[in-house]
Structure 1
Amino acid sequence: MDTVVARKNRKNKYWILALPLFLFAGYAVYSAVTKKRSLVVHRGEVVIKTVEDDYFEDFLVFQAKVEPLNSMLLNVIEGGSVQEIFVENGDHVTQGQPLVKLYNPNTELGYMTQETSIIEQINNLNKGKLDLRNQELNLAKDLVAIEHDYQDAKTLYDLNQKLFKQEILAKNEWDKTAENFRFQKERKNIIEQSIRKEKQANQLQISQMSQSQGIMYKSLEILRKNKKNFLVTAPVSGRLSSFEPVLGKNYIAGETIGKIDVMKGYKLIADVDEFYLEKIAEGQKGSIDYKNKTLTVTVAKVIPEVKNGKFLVELNFNGADETDLRQGLSFGVRLTLSGKVKTLVLSKGSFYQETAGRWIFVVDGDKAVRRAIKTGRENPLYYEILGGLKAGEKVVTSSYADYKEVQELNIEK
């Protein structure tokens, strides 16, 4: 009789052998995922700073140049080529002093033509006024003759009226005398009315001609004054700057050839980064260091027009009239944006470029662990810490360019 032999289950045997391998692989994967990524750095490669509980002052530091408080541009009024130069850049000039002479033959010829035309019109108006006055004179002469005829007719009328009443004069002679007197009287009245109206009309015309002449005389005066504009003179007293005309060079009307700085006080001019446009306002106080003295300044004007990422700020000195300032000097201005506030602060460092203030490496012994933080305001020296750090903790503030994916730094000496 055959014996039945039970077949062994090799499948269970394989599972028993593979289970430890699966468990080991899973542990390796878990360890790789959960283990902090670390990096070994030398102590000399990093900068470590301490978080402090100190006063934070929101201020801004920028460079500014000294400029005269007031300046006036020198503009060419009548375009032309430079014929003569009387002064040099940097000279002190007085009001009305000749600076440069220009020449433009076409413009000058045009002035001469206009001047001739205006003088001719003035002469024509004078002739017209003279003709009107002669006309009035002739009318006056006619009136004298008519008045004489009227008086003769009236005298004869009075005489013949008496003779007619005495029946010495015939009726037909009296009628002729009366008719002639009536004619002379009406004639005299009509001529007198005509002369009065003529005089009124002439006076109106003469008045209008006089007004026209007045305008022409003013035009002639302006024209002759404009002819003098080829000579550029100093509008105010001061020092010439940016004045570099060249003999023979042609300048168009309205072009600037320099400016005059009125040497009565100074101001500071600065180009400030557009980031601070909303933070700077008129009236804010600042300071500069000059010859071992601290001079206070005030923001006088903010020009919000942004050019190449910069906007213009003007600052006035407070009581700095007695200082020996010079145009062109450059100063570092410390402008206060807010008062001092007690808070946590951290010295500025390169780490901010990679983290934007969202996290930092906090030093604990020979390790530095990554931690989330919250920053607030900043000034040229400090960041304001709003959360994530405590006073006395040490942090790495040098560049994190190589540590972006690292969770922990092992610091070796």
Structure 2
Amino acid sequence: MDRVIEKKKWTTKKILTIAGITALVALIAASYYFTSGNSKLNVETDRLQISEVKKGIFQENIPVNGVVLPETTIYLDAVEGGRVEEKFVEDGAMMTKGQPILRLSNTDLELSLVNQETSVYNLLTQMQISKNAAQQNTINNLNQMTDAENNLKEAERVYNLNKHLFEQKVIGSQEFKKSENEYYYQLNKKKLSQQVLKQDSLSNTQQLIQAKQSYEGSQNALSVMRKKVGDLIVRAPVDGQLTSLDAEVGQNKNKGERLGQLDVMSGYKVRVDVDEHYISRIYVGLRGSFSFADTSYQLEIKKVYTQVTSGRFQVDMEFVGKVPKGIRRGQTLQILLALSDERQSLLLAKGGFYQQTGGNWIFKVSKDGSTAYKVNIQLGNQNTDAYEVLQGLEPGDKVITSSYENYENMQELVLKKK
């Protein structure tokens, strides 16, 4: 007798198949959940930095480094080339104006000075000879003028006498005519002597002017040559401290070569390097601040050097008000350079989150503090302490500002206390 075998509904194979399908669906669902932006992550609050968004005074600034320099620096260059023969002081010495620093030698210049002096002495000798000759010539012309006047007077006397006698018919016309001719001859001779004497005077005056100009030119040339030789002794142009002296005995220095510099110690300035990104926003009058010995001091830009080198340009800043005591040349200062005026803004503390988000979003903590979720934000300018919030947050909001390196792909953080 046949027996009806009842078919089993849940075989082992069927159960395993259903379990596999269920696991696969669960895996796909989990994968979708974790990659669709709805993922969550438990995070201990002790590992986070939570900051509150607040209203406050905002001023955009950037940190820069500045080097303290003397307010005035005078560079010492070799006016004339030569060999260093003697050093009178060493680098770092305090100098007074006119004090010698070092002495150079230049035989060509010294020989030129001797030749110029000889030329001037020869010119003086020639001028004296010419002057004596001119004086002698003038004396001769004066003597001739005196003779001409005397001869004219005598000829005039004889002429007048003979004229009277001729009119009385005491003498003949031959004798009268002779005296008349003599008179007019002496008269013309006197006029000629006067003309010669006048011409001599004009000539002497012209020669005197030319000789004076020639002498002054030679004297000027001699003065210039003496100054060039005098420049072989390098002297301090002002009172100050000698720095960067680059000269050793026996060393040859070319004309125009840098020998050192003199720092005028009447005050200080600060030479600051700024990133070229800010070149359009930097101008004379901007201020900055720094701390020295627990005291804050102010600086103001006085000069902008627009030449960019290696992505940076420089500005000179001067102290506003008091100058720190004990500050020294070459000292480095960390300065906060203000790029704007102070204004009321919504402020967000700076933190490591910016590296992962670029300031486009942030984790905002819920009202009960149990979770933090992504919100889109817009940040504006920044300073060393905070960002200026333009959109996405309100005063009193709490946000996570520490680094998002381990959970930047999470949509929500579940905050757990340790």
**CA deviation string 1:318-351 (max 9, x = no partner):** 3326834332333222333333322222222344
Could you tell me which residue of structure 2 aligns to residue 63 of structure 1? Answer: 65
Larger mean Cα displacement after TM superposition, 167-176 or 248-257:
248-257
Q: Distance in 1 between matches of 2:370 and 2:89?
A: 73
Q: CA deviation at 1:227?
A: 0.9
Larger mean Cα displacement after TM superposition, 142-151 or 70-79:
142-151
Larger mean Cα displacement after TM superposition, 353-362 or 378-387:
353-362
Q: CA deviation at 1:260?
A: 1.6
- Relative to structure 1, the CA distance from residue 37 to residue 76 in structure 2 (aligned partners, 3 Å threshold; closer, same or farther) is farther
Could you tell me which residue of structure 2 aligns to residue 21 of structure 1? Answer: none
- Relative to structure 1, the CA distance from residue 352 to residue 136 in structure 2 (aligned partners, 3 Å threshold; closer, same or farther) is farther
Q: Distance in 2 between matches of 1:82 and 1:37?
A: 81
Structure 1 contact 361–396 (Cα < 8 Å) conserved: yes
One-letter amino acid of the counterpart of residue 258, structure 1: G
Could you tell me which residue of structure 1 aligns to residue 220 of structure 2? Answer: 218
2:348 paired with 1:346: yes
Q: Distance in 2 between matches of 1:219 and 1:349?
A: 73
Q: Distance in 2 between matches of 1:409 and 1:123?
A: 108
Q: CA deviation at 1:207?
A: 1.2
Larger mean Cα displacement after TM superposition, 234-243 or 370-379:
370-379
Report the RMSD for the aligned CA atoms in angstroms. Answer: 3.2
Could you tell me which residue of structure 2 aligns to residue 317 of structure 1? Answer: 319
Could you tell me which residue of structure 1 aligns to residue 392 of structure 2? Answer: 388
Q: CA deviation at 1:236?
A: 1.0
Structure 2 contact 297–324 (Cα < 8 Å) conserved: no
2:411 paired with 1:408: yes
Could you tell me which residue of structure 1 aligns to residue 248 of structure 2? Answer: 246
**CA deviation string 1:188-210 (max 9, x = no partner):** 11221232133223312321221
Q: Distance in 2 between matches of 1:305 and 1:241?
A: 26
**CA deviation string 1:157-193 (max 9, x = no partner):** 2232233233222210110110111111012112212
Structure 1 contact 347–381 (Cα < 8 Å) conserved: yes
Larger mean Cα displacement after TM superposition, 247-256 or 40-49:
40-49
Q: Distance in 2 between matches of 1:359 and 1:200?
A: 100
Task: Give the match's secondary structure for 1:339.
Answer: coil
Out of 321, 328, 331, which is 1:326 matched to?
328
Task: Give the match's secondary structure for 1:377.
Answer: strand
Q: Distance in 2 between matches of 1:373 and 1:131?
A: 104
Q: How many residues align?
A: 386
Could you tell me which residue of structure 2 aligns to residue 3 of structure 1? Answer: none
Q: Distance in 2 between matches of 1:129 and 1:282?
A: 66
Out of 94, 101, 108, which is 1:106 matched to?
108
Q: CA deviation at 1:53?
A: 2.7
Q: CA deviation at 1:118?
A: 4.3
Could you tell me which residue of structure 2 aligns to residue 13 of structure 1? Answer: none
Task: Give the match's secondary structure for 2:102.
Answer: strand
Q: CA deviation at 1:46?
A: 6.1
Q: Distance in 2 between matches of 1:114 and 1:295?
A: 59
Task: Give the match's secondary structure for 2:231.
Answer: helix
Alignment of 1:195-274 (within 5 A): 195-274=197-276
Task: Give the match's secondary structure for 1:139.
Answer: helix
Q: CA deviation at 1:135?
A: 3.0
Q: Distance in 1 between matches of 2:39 and 2:129?
A: 108
Q: Distance in 2 between matches of 1:70 and 1:327?
A: 12
Structure 1 contact 241–259 (Cα < 8 Å) conserved: yes
TM-score, length of structure 2 as denominator length = 0.80
Q: Distance in 2 between matches of 1:318 and 1:105?
A: 52
Alignment of 1:70-219 (within 5 A): 70-219=72-221
Larger mean Cα displacement after TM superposition, 132-141 or 75-84:
132-141
2:380 paired with 1:376: yes
One-letter amino acid of the counterpart of residue 35, structure 1: S
Q: CA deviation at 1:300?
A: 2.4
Q: Distance in 1 between matches of 2:47 and 2:123?
A: 92
One-letter amino acid of the counterpart of residue 36, structure 1: G
Q: Distance in 2 between matches of 1:46 and 1:60?
A: 27
Larger mean Cα displacement after TM superposition, 172-181 or 60-69:
60-69
Structure 1 contact 79–253 (Cα < 8 Å) conserved: yes
One-letter amino acid of the counterpart of residue 175, structure 2: E
- Relative to structure 1, the CA distance from residue 178 to residue 86 in structure 2 (aligned partners, 3 Å threshold; closer, same or farther) is same
- Relative to structure 1, the CA distance from residue 347 to residue 119 in structure 2 (aligned partners, 3 Å threshold; closer, same or farther) is farther
- Relative to structure 1, the CA distance from residue 222 to residue 398 in structure 2 (aligned partners, 3 Å threshold; closer, same or farther) is same
Q: Which consecutive unaligned segments of at least 5 residues does structure 1 have?
A: 1-23
Larger mean Cα displacement after TM superposition, 93-102 or 144-153:
144-153
Task: Give the match's secondary structure for 1:190.
Answer: helix
- Relative to structure 1, the CA distance from residue 407 to residue 33 in structure 2 (aligned partners, 3 Å threshold; closer, same or farther) is closer
- Relative to structure 1, the CA distance from residue 260 to residue 167 in structure 2 (aligned partners, 3 Å threshold; closer, same or farther) is same
Structure 2 contact 49–401 (Cα < 8 Å) conserved: yes
- Relative to structure 1, the CA distance from residue 219 to residue 391 in structure 2 (aligned partners, 3 Å threshold; closer, same or farther) is same
Could you tell me which residue of structure 2 aligns to residue 36 of structure 1? Answer: 37
Q: Distance in 1 between matches of 2:121 and 2:371?
A: 99
Could you tell me which residue of structure 2 aligns to residue 301 of structure 1? Answer: 303
Q: CA deviation at 1:40?
A: 5.3
Q: CA deviation at 1:304?
A: 2.5
Structure 2 contact 141–196 (Cα < 8 Å) conserved: no
Structure 1 contact 129–209 (Cα < 8 Å) conserved: no
Could you tell me which residue of structure 2 aligns to residue 12 of structure 1? Answer: none
**CA deviation string 1:249-287 (max 9, x = no partner):** 222222221222222222222222223333333333333
TM-score, length of structure 1 as denominator length = 0.81
